[in-house]
Structure 1
Amino acid sequence: MSARTPTPAYPMTIFHKPNCSTSRNVLGLIRESGVEPEIVLYLETPPSKEKLRALAKAMGVGARDLLRAKEAPYEELGLADPKWTDDQLFDFIATHPILLQRPIVVSPRGTLMCRPWARVREILPSA
């Protein structure tokens, strides 16, 4: 479920985890730029496999780049093994959204994995 609606003049979406400091920093920079983004609490409303595929394509990365290796399911499921295809990895992330690397931000200027958090400046509205 989304907590807020986007600012019509500059629509942005953040795939957000509120207790993640990086995610909170990114959200703060977006708001400081004058934009109130759509906030997708992806642990409550996980993105579909199709949405994950679209986000990866928009960022020019593969499914493995969306994985957060520090989470328990990563090791438990043996996701470091190169045998897994992108299709299978997208399935794992859709089933276990805690595996999604965060935060991902979508804006008119592009889609980015905002790690480090200051990367979000690349896609904020121009000053």
Structure 2
Amino acid sequence: MTEAPHIFHNPRCSKSRQTLELLQQKGIEPEIIRYLETPPTEQELLHILDLLGCQPRDIMRTKEPEYREQALDNENLSSEALVEAMVRTPKLIERPIVVANGKAVIGRPPENVLTIIE
């Protein structure tokens, strides 16, 4: 590995804690980004989406009240509008996301991270 992996982490989320623990069990100390406190910029989120090979809606937490409150279920919203919503309201971003070795994966289940670190 050339640089330490990054984990977009919410310590209150069990899957996020399990993913971090799995990385640490493998001897990897990732850079922990508490994305609720330090949300990614639009550019960072677009880069993550590119690495994931996903569209913005694919990584949105659609069951969060903020999703409905901001009418983000409107199919006519552009990708740019969805990214802006996630930057403005990072609680909407699925977690955890691990970036390593020029790849990214959502740690649901936590074992997904093994595909990009081994």
Look up the match of 1:4: none
Residue 37 of structure 1 pairs with residue 30 of structure 2: yes
Stretch moving more, 105-114 or 51-60: 105-114
User: What is the TM-score when the length of structure 2 is the normalising length?
Assistant: 0.94
What is the letter of the counterpart of residue 23 of structure 1?
S
Deviations 1:21-68 (A, max 9, x none): 000000001001101000000000010111111100111111111211
Q: Is the 8 A contact 2:5 2:100 kept in 1?
A: yes
* 2:6 aligned residue (13, 35, 38): 13
Residue 93 of structure 1 pairs with residue 86 of structure 2: yes
Residues 1:90 and 1:61: Cα distance change in structure 2 (over 3 Å) = same
**How far apart are 1:10 and its partner, in Å?**
4.8
Q: Is the 8 A contact 2:8 2:35 kept in 1?
A: yes
Secondary structure at 1:111 match in 2: strand
Secondary structure at 1:102 match in 2: coil
Look up the match of 1:112: 105
**What number of residue pairs does the alignment pair up?**
118
Where in structure 2 are the equivalents of 1:16-27 lying within 5 Å?
Answer: 16-27=9-20
Query: Equivalents in 2 of 1:109, 1:31: separation in Å?
Result: 19
* 2:48 aligned residue (37, 55, 58): 55
- Percent identity for Structure 1 against Structure 2: 36
Query: Equivalents in 2 of 1:27, 1:119: separation in Å?
Result: 12
What is the letter of the counterpart of residue 25 of structure 2?
E
What is the letter of the counterpart of residue 85 of structure 2?
F
Q: Is the 8 A contact 2:2 2:101 kept in 1?
A: no
Query: RMSD of the TM alignment (CA)?
Result: 1.4
User: What is the TM-score when the length of structure 1 is the normalising length?
Assistant: 0.88
Residue ranges of structure 1 left out of the alignment (5+ in a row): 1-7
